[in-house]
């Protein structure tokens, strides 16, 4: 890119992991054996990617070093000025978004779809099948009940995690509202998706079998533990349709970058569309018969 401001804004908005700023006179200084500098601006909230980029650029600089050792003072030094755009995020703090998303998944599983399966297994669903309630009323009611409980659980986990790890929360109201919106949309996404998968299951053992499998294939490719950019191509494709990946990205931006709702608008839009699509499918496929 030719504009330095556009490159730095791309890093701040999450489009890039880093920006290497090479001054116009860099080649000239190299040829004249003068001190040459570049600036490396990194999104240090993703420590693994930031360190990989830093090592790669540092290795390129070492390649430019001369093979001889001068007996005089060297004037052809190459210098990389590394700049972290955000405050340092330690390992324990980096795990908080993933912990919250894990709590949302487990809450959505046990309070939403599992309740439906248990009601069907115990025969309780016969009572509300005798009522004039439509399929949309039944499904939306179960989802809303699961939403309220899961939101409370996820919020409690978030508060405890913030207190333990010491993540600063400078804009309490604005950041709190943004996080609450992300938690609500993520919970609705997972509840609706689980209703699509488990909506016709009639035995709780099936839920137990699928819960571990679903947790693994959704959580680990979400970017909560390892950056999505390092995934193989086939796994990157799955991450693009994984709602937990967008939820983790949104929470990381809010907690570590103090991002506003406009910055994470893409994540919110995906979660909203995913919720609408899966909720529509879950209502259409719900069986209102014994």
Q: Which tens digit of pLDDT belongs to each residue from 186-208?
A: 999 998 888 888 877 777 788 77
Alpha carbon distance, N-terminus to C-terminus of the chain: 62
**H-run or E-run covering 46:** none
Please enumerate in sequence order all residues whose Cβ is within 8 A of that of 223, keeping only pairs 6 or more positions apart, or say none.
Answer: 239, 245, 248, 249
Going by C-alpha positions, the residue among 268, 266, 264 that lies closest to residue 252 is 264
Q: Are 239 and 228 in contact (CB under 8 A)?
A: yes
- Give the model's pLDDT for residue 164: 92
- Give the model's pLDDT for residue 228: 86
- Give the model's pLDDT for residue 102: 92
What residues are paired with 41 via a beta bridge? 19, 83
- Give the model's pLDDT for residue 70: 45
For 28, 211, 220, 246, the CA distances from 101, given in Å and listed in that order, are 50, 15, 11, 10
- Give the model's pLDDT for residue 77: 58
Residue whose tokens read 């790669």? 56
**pTM for this one?**
0.79
For 86, 104, 197, 203, the CA distances from 206, given in Å and listed in that order, are 45, 20, 11, 6
- Give the model's pLDDT for residue 206: 81
- Edge-to-edge strands of the sheet including 78-84? 18-21, 36-42, 78-84
pLDDT below 50 — which residues of the chain?
67-75
């Amino acid at each position: 890119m030719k504009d330095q401001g556009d490159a730095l804004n791309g890093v701040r908005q999450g489009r890039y992991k880093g920006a290497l700023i090479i001054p116009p006179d860099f080649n000239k200084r190299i040829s004249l054996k003068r001190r040459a500098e570049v600036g490396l601006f990194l999104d240090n909230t993703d420590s693994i990617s930031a360190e990989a980029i830093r090592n790669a650029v540092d290795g390129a600089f070492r390649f430019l070093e001369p093979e001889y050792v001068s007996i005089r003072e060297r004037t052809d030094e190459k210098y990389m000025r590394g700049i972290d755009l955000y405050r340092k995020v330690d390992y324990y703090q980096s795990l908080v978004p993933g912990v919250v998303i894990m709590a949302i998944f487990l809450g959505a599983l046990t309070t939403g779809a599992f309740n439906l399966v248990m009601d069907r297994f115990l025969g309780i669903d016969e009572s509300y099948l005798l009522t004039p309630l439509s399929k949309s009323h039944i499904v939306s009611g179960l989802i809303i009940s699961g939403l309220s409980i899961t939101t409370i659980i996820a919020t409690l986990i978030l508060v405890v995690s913030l207190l333990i790890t010491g993540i600063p929360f400078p804009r309490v109201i604005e950041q709190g509202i943004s996080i609450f919106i992300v938690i609500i949309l993520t919970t609705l996404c997972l509840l609706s998706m689980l209703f699509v998968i488990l909506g016709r299951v009639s035995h709780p053992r099936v839920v137990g079998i699928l819960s571990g499998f679903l947790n693994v294939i959704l959580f680990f490719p979400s970017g909560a533990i390892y950056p999505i950019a390092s995934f193989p191509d086939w796994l990157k494709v799955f991450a693009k349709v994984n709602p937990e990946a967008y939820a983790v990205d949104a929470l990381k931006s809010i907690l570590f970058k103090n991002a506003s709702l406009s910055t994470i608008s893409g994540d919110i839009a995906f979660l909203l569309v995913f919720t609408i699509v899966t909720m529509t499918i879950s209502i259409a496929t719900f069986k209102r018969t014994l």
